[in-house]
Structure formats: structure tokens, C-alpha cells
Structure 1
Amino acid sequence: MNFLDDFLVRAALAGLGVALAAAPLGCFVVWRRMAYFGEATAHAAILGVAFALGLGLAVMPAVLAAALLMALAVSAMTGRGFAMDTALGVMSHTALAAGMVAVTLLADVRLDLMAFLFGDILAVTRWDLATIWGGAVLVVALTAWRWPGLLLSTLNPDLARASGIDPRREELVLTLALAVVVAVAIKVVGVLLIAALLVIPPAAARPLAATPEGMAAGAAGLGAVSALGGLWAAFVFDTPTGPSIVCTAALLFVLTSLFGGLRKRG
């Protein structure tokens, strides 16, 4: 029997793929204090799902387009004098509410809304697995290619400009990568938990890392442990899988924070 015929194997591979994609990107989300930006991008995914089902389109490209449009809209509002938190609050909640209203108006479409909100990793198909890993490889390759520019523009935008690097361009690269992560992660942890998977593993890796690259590698490892540990916990305790993954990541964050505090005292 092909090992991919086992739904638990597919679920584990899907979790590992999302962790691999979200980890390095999540480091930049933490460094730039963009947690709510990632959440707003994720909330737009529901609106993308509604448009895809209403127009008979593929869900993944529609979610990707909606996430990109949300990121560009927030950037445009910020450039017109709105505070970043205000723009994120308006756009994030509007997109989530509009998406849920639009989904309920699709009378001829049967949709498990909870699966999109909280994920349904146990229902991942081979095609979903190929999409997740394709997106993960794309995000990792893009992040590795732009790593020096992304890192420098994050740490010191003025120094980046002096070095010939356009911080605005690097921000657009980060926005594109975020949209891809949202599109591939929606099946695993759902819209409401994607931001947690972007933020918690990098935050947990921070006390253990001495370099940015070490933090990204640590975030990938902790994200993988969170995915597999959450999947195991959901199987053993019969709990929702997406929230179980996030709770496992939160537990790792507490442990690494305690370890970091003890190491500083020592």
C-alpha cells in the first residue's frame, strides 16, 4: 500500500510543509511587529473562498488573490495617513465579516465553514499535499533568495537604502510570501489560526537563537514539533486538530521562555 494512502501520514506531511513555509516568514513577522498584518491577510481568505465558490473558480488561486489584495489595500490605507493598527482593524474585520456573509448567501453550495475557520488537516488529499509543499518550496526559495535584503530592510531601512536596497520592494516580497503561506495553510490550521502559526514558533525560537538564521531554523524545528505534537494530541484526546497544533506551539513557547529566563539568570 502506498504510504500516502494513510490519512495520518498525509496530515503529518501537510503540517510539516506548512511549518517549513511559515517559520522563516514568521521571523520577519515577529521582527517587524506585523502579527496583525498576517492576521488581516488570513481573514481575507474567507472572502476569497466565497468568490471562488460563487464564481466556480479554484479555491487556492482565489484565496491567494484575496490575500494579496488585502495586503495591498492595507499598504495603500497606511500610505494615505491612516495608522497601521487602524487600517488593519478596519480591513481585517471587514474582510472576515463580508466573507462569512457572502458564504451564507451561496444557497446552492455546501460548505463546511468550520473547516476553513479552524482547518481540517485530516481531510488533506494528495492534491492538497502537493499544493502545500509546492507553496512551501516557493516561499522558502523566495525567502532565501531575498534574505539579505529582507533582513537589512527590517533591521535598518535607512542603511538598506544606502546599500542600494529598496525597503518598499522587500516589503512587497514579504507580502507576496505571506499571501502564499495563507493560501497553503488554510487547509491545515484555518483562517483564524494561521497568524498564530506564523508568530508563535518564531517567538518560541527567539530565546534559543543567537543569530537571525538560527532563529529561522529553530522556528522551523519548533513549528514541525508543534504540527506533529498537535496532530498526536488531537488523535489521542479527540480534540480539534488545528487548535491542538496551536496549543502545542503555545506550550513550546512557554517552555522556551522559561528556559531562556533561567539561562539569563545563570
Structure 2
Amino acid sequence: MLDDFMIRAALAGIGTALAAAPLGCFVVWRRMAYFGDATAHAAILGVALALALDIPVFGGVLVTALVMGLAVTTLSGRGFATDTLLGVLAHSALAIGLVAVSFLSGVRVDLMGYLFGDILAVNATDLAIIWSGAAIILALVTLRWSALLTSTLSPDLASASGIDSRREQMILTIALALTIAIAIKVVGALLISALLLIPAATARSVARTPESMALLAALLGSLATLGGLGLSYGADTPTGPSIVCIATFFFLTSLLLRRQETG
């Protein structure tokens, strides 16, 4: 069954959506959209380093995303304006990565695939990495859900309860880096933040509890993946952007439904 490239693509997209959904909720709650952008843009630098050092791309992207996330977490508390810091690091990492790729001689680099994803080229090894990473992320978020949620919604209550908010931020950073590493094959570095943010933002419009928001975001992300694959197959459109377009359609639909309810 896994010899069928569309089935592999669907499984890869669903695995990525399941991993991204709960983290996307925290991105929305903490207003960390630019943080996700900065970490995702660093993925291209990770690709260049991995190819230059002849190591797996997944490892290079994971390490670079972790370094970027930890750098932002550390520097943002030392007098740097967070939005400025994120802008500088995001664009610098992307530019350095693109320039570094151009210096790789004798190495064939599918730059468009890394920027916008190449889900149709996913193989069995990629699937194993995606689903293993998704399982780790879901287990980590499940174990730390209460602490992460408390430190997100009420830092004062978290402090009173003995929860270290910086530790929870670090855990979230590690989980985001892992998600970006597994998602780069599916939607690419430039669209990873969209897959994190849009399903969660859509779910927020209709969910009543944090848990239902995470579950609904996972469902919407999976449906966007399947819808994007269908659109790409039927209309011969790029798959990664098609997935994001379907997710955006869900978001706009949720806004219209919400306006009708309040109107």
C-alpha cells in the first residue's frame, strides 16, 4: 500500500498536521507567530549545513531550528525587542541559508522543494521520521499539557503553583523545532508557520475549551492536507501551497459562520 505515492503523501500530511495542531494552539495563545517564522526560516540554513557536512537533512534542520529557537528565547529576555529580534534572525537565517546553498558544488539541491515542500516525494523512511516525530511531540505535549497551559494562560498562577515558565517555554521551543524538522518535507520552510497557525486560529473561532481547540485543529489540519492533495492532483497545482490554501478557506469560512452567529 505504501508504494502508492498519494497514500504516502496523505499519511505524511496527516502525521504533520497531528504534530502541528497542539503546538499551533500554543503559538496562537502566546502570540508566537513570528517565533514560528524565525525558526522555520532557519530550516534552510540547516539544509545547507546538512548537505555541506553530508549528514541527514532532518538532523541539520532540527539542530538549526533548535539553535534558533533557543537563541530567540535567550535574547528576548535581555533588553532586545522581541519583534525586532525575530525579524533580524528570521531574514538573516533564510538569506544565509540561500547563499550557503549556492556555494555547494557538485550537490543537486531542490531548493523549491525545501522552500515550498515536496510531499509527493515522501518515501517510507520519511514517513517513519514524520510519525516518530509526531508521536514524540504528542507524548511530550500530553505529559506537559497542564503546565504548558497554565504558564501560557496565567504566568502568575503558574509561578504560584511552582511551575517554571521558562522551562515550559524551552519545552515548547524544542517541540516546535522538531515539528519544523518533520514538516519541511511536507509544506516547506516558507509554509510551515501557516500549517502551525491557520488550523489553530480556525479552531479557536468555534472551540469551547483548550482541549477541544487542539483536537479540532488536528482535524482541520488533516482535512486541509487531504483537500490540498486532491486540489493538487486534480488541478496540477503545487501541493504545499494548495494545502495552505485549503486551510485558509476553512479559516475564512469559520469567520463567516462566526459573523452570522453574532449578527
Q: TM-score range by the shorter chain?
A: over 0.9
Match of 2:44 among 43, 46, 58: 46
2:52 alignment partner AA: G
Q: CA deviation at 1:80?
A: 1.9
Q: CA deviation at 1:63?
A: 0.7
Cα distance per residue 1:211-238 (max 9 Å; x no partner): 0001001100000000000000000010
What aligned pairs does 1:127-206 form with structure 2 within 5 A after superposition?
Answer: 127-206=125-204
SS class of match (2:197) = helix
What aligned pairs does 1:1-266 form with structure 2 within 5 A after superposition?
Answer: 3-265=1-263
User: Once superposed, what is the RMSD of the aligned Cα atoms?
Assistant: 0.7
Cα distance per residue 1:244-263 (max 9 Å; x no partner): 00000000000111112222
SS class of match (1:109) = coil
Distance 2:261 2:62 in 1: 42
Q: CA deviation at 1:61?
A: 1.2
Runs of 5+ unmatched residues, structure 2 = none
4+ residue stretches of structure 1 with deviation over 2 A?
none
Give the number of equivalent residue pairs. 263
Q: CA deviation at 1:72?
A: 1.1
Scaled by the length of structure 1, the TM-score of the pair is: 0.98
Scaled by the length of structure 2, the TM-score of the pair is: 0.99
Q: CA deviation at 1:264?
A: 2.5
Distance 2:122 2:164 in 1: 39
Distance 2:55 2:9 in 1: 25
SS class of match (2:205) = helix
Q: CA deviation at 1:107?
A: 1.1
Distance 1:197 1:35 in 2: 11
SS class of match (1:80) = coil
2:25 alignment partner AA: C
1:221 alignment partner AA: L
1:58 alignment partner AA: P
Distance 2:63 2:223 in 1: 30
2:257 alignment partner AA: F
Q: CA deviation at 1:76?
A: 2.3
Distance 1:43 1:109 in 2: 21
Distance 1:208 1:14 in 2: 27
Distance 1:263 1:202 in 2: 20
